[in-house]
Structure 1
Amino acid sequence: MTVVAIGCALASAVFAALGAFLQHSGVRQVSVDGSLRLRTLPLLIRERTWLLGVLAHVGTAAAQITAIALAPLVVVQPIVVLSLPLVALFGARASGRKLGSLAITGIAATAGGLAVFVALTARTAVATEVSTEQTLLAGEVVAAFALVLVGFGASRTGRARCLAFAVAAGALYGLVSVLIRRVTQAVMVMEQPGIPWFSGLALAAAFLAGSWLIQVAYASGPADLVVACGTALNPITAILIGASVLGETAGIGAGVTMTLAVCGGVVVFGVALLAHSHAAAFVAPPAEPETSSNALGRANSAPRR
């Protein structure tokens, strides 16, 4: 089952990258002054590129739900990070530019650290039952964290606004994975008395809030920066909840824990390199030094009195 779950998580990462790329293109078509408002929502719904992104995210949700239902969160959720290098590749191909050495190093670090992390957790992590008390605790902490970020982002513009909303969305998506685990366990395990409807409603609310925050972040910054923050906070939130609240890593020894921490650091380093490479790619080129021929040409073209 773990192998199937990992395959579904990989498919989810591909769909997520494609959906992010398409939705970013659609949002930028209708956004005004780097912001997205409710009155532009009808225009967004009619944007074909954005709708294709929504369709891709449907595939993301289906593959991710299957993966979460079959394996522990600490195994499948980190694979979401692969959507970041993928969206960087999609963006480079669409713009016709080549990836620099910084971006290539970031992709290698992200993929390599993630591969070792998943391989270790797949062997040692154990899926545990999610209780109502654990769900409430995780929801309260993540909701408080997201509200603080939303308040900060609402008072900022540009890059700071983009980062705040993208991080808040990533944290909410991490909570969504926990709620999915709670609901799927109730459906799959017949001994449990019915479906936890409160968790289902919380799941829908967290997903819708995260989806809107992602659209606002797209309107304020580049797609790969949004994906970098969202895909980093999504698995980080899920891993922290899975390890501390759900106890999925209770049987892992100190040596394996240290190795996982190092792998996580390598992945974060790769994500940072990718984000920095994007920023460097869009820095305005330096002004061309003025030569005597340029100066003479301007002098000749100047109007004479």
Structure 2
Amino acid sequence: MLVFEVSETAEDILRDPSQFLGIPIALLGAVFLSFGAQYQSRGVNKVERISGQKASAGLSGNQLVSLLKRPSWVVGTLLLGFAVVLQLASLSFSPLIVVQPLGVVALVITSILNARMSGLDLNHKTKIAIGMCVAGVFVFVTIAAFTATDQPVTEEHLVTILVILGVVLVLFTAAFIFMRHRTKAIFYIVGAGIIYGFVATLAKVVIGRLQQGEFDVLTLICLIALLAATGGGMYFVQNAYSSGPPDLVIAGLTVIDPMVAVVIGVVVLGEAASAPLWAMFVFIGAGAVAVTGVFMLAKHHPQVQA
């Protein structure tokens, strides 16, 4: 029965092979994401040294202006811009649950880049943490790709997503205001990952409605919310660079981001309504492994310990 269910879903996917065009596009975006994160991190660290003020409690207005003058940060931002464009392009071809988690490839690339550019040797626990992130996401997306199905996004779904996003933004903003002097990199990383999970979902929705020629008031609200969440997530990411290495930042984004997007798809959109019960247990187990890897990386990474 299990083999029959998976085989039947695989046959449905293979009937439309064009949806796999998004996979190589998403992988190329992961490469740009890796290099962009590395250069942005260097820019933030340089601004901190020049200003003599740590940005872990929140980048000041002067530091934000200084970032625009740093060539490394500008180059990193442009590379991340290319990564976003490629991600949006991949979403126009393939389902969100297939291409979004492929960003975890950026974690491996960023870890190698950061180790080489910083002259660090990744310790054993760090390598295990990275392996857990990659393995957890790989299992998570594989099961999702063969058991979940795309569902039409109704106006009620959109309103629900927007309301939840509003609550999330308010909670993280309040936590940042009252706790920013006691926060660590993991706070910014988790916050950015959750926010970007909503960004990916809204981006998929907006692209779908535009492809169908539907641009109404609700679509405009989704676009505004998308831009606002992108800005908030980006600010959190810049703060994370000041207190954590770039591969830790990428780990949070490429693990938490796709899982939030898939959870939205499962809980709000009902994309896993026809999935067997065993798939739910695999989702939970794989997600727990990947998230544990992120927290291990935050604890044992050589730059964090230093």
- Is TM more than 0.5 here? yes
C-alpha distance 214-75 of structure 1, shift in aligned 2 (>3 A): same
Structure 1 residue aligned with 2:25? 8
Structure 1 residue aligned with 2:139? 116
**Aligned-partner Cα distance in 1 for 2:232–2:193:** 11
**Aligned-partner Cα distance in 1 for 2:233–2:270:** 26
Residues 101-132 of structure 1: per-residue CA shift (max 9 Å, x gap): 22222232222332233222222222222233
Q: TM-score, normalised by structure 2?
A: 0.82
Pairwise CA RMSD of aligned residues? 2.3
How many corresponding residue pairs?
282
Shift in Å, 1:60: 1.3
Structure 2 residue aligned with 1:224? 247
Pick the structure with greater CA Rg.
1
**Aligned-partner Cα distance in 2 for 1:117–1:226:** 20
Q: TM-score, normalised by structure 1?
A: 0.83
State the structure with bigger RCO (CA 8 A, min sep 6), 1 or 2.
Answer: 2
Question: Of 13, 17, 21, which residue of structure 1 is paired with 2:34?
Answer: 17
**Aligned-partner Cα distance in 1 for 2:263–2:93:** 19
Structure 1 residue aligned with 2:305? 283
Structure 2 residue aligned with 1:289? none
Of the structure 1 ranges 40-49 and 210-219, higher mean CA displacement relative to structure 2 is found in 210-219
C-alpha distance 74-18 of structure 1, shift in aligned 2 (>3 A): same
C-alpha distance 113-233 of structure 1, shift in aligned 2 (>3 A): closer
Gaps of 5+ in 2: 1-17
**Aligned-partner Cα distance in 1 for 2:71–2:254:** 24
Structure 2 residue aligned with 1:298? none
Of the structure 1 ranges 152-161 and 233-242, higher mean CA displacement relative to structure 2 is found in 152-161
C-alpha distance 150-83 of structure 1, shift in aligned 2 (>3 A): farther
Structure 1 letter corresponding to 2:76: G
Structure 1 residue aligned with 2:8? none
Identity of aligned residues (%): 30
Structure 2 letter corresponding to 1:34: K
| 1:33 equivalenced with 2:53 (yes/no) | yes
Residues 56-97 of structure 1: per-residue CA shift (max 9 Å, x gap): 111211121122223332222222333333322211011122
Question: Of 195, 199, 205, which residue of structure 2 is paired with 1:172?
Answer: 195
Gaps of 5+ in 1: 285-305
Show the 5 A alignment for 1:207-286.
Answer: 207-278=230-301, 280=302, 282-283=304-305
C-alpha distance 41-282 of structure 1, shift in aligned 2 (>3 A): closer
Q: Secondary structure at the match of 1:160?
A: coil
Retained in 1: the 8 A contact 2:20–2:93?
no
C-alpha distance 153-183 of structure 1, shift in aligned 2 (>3 A): same
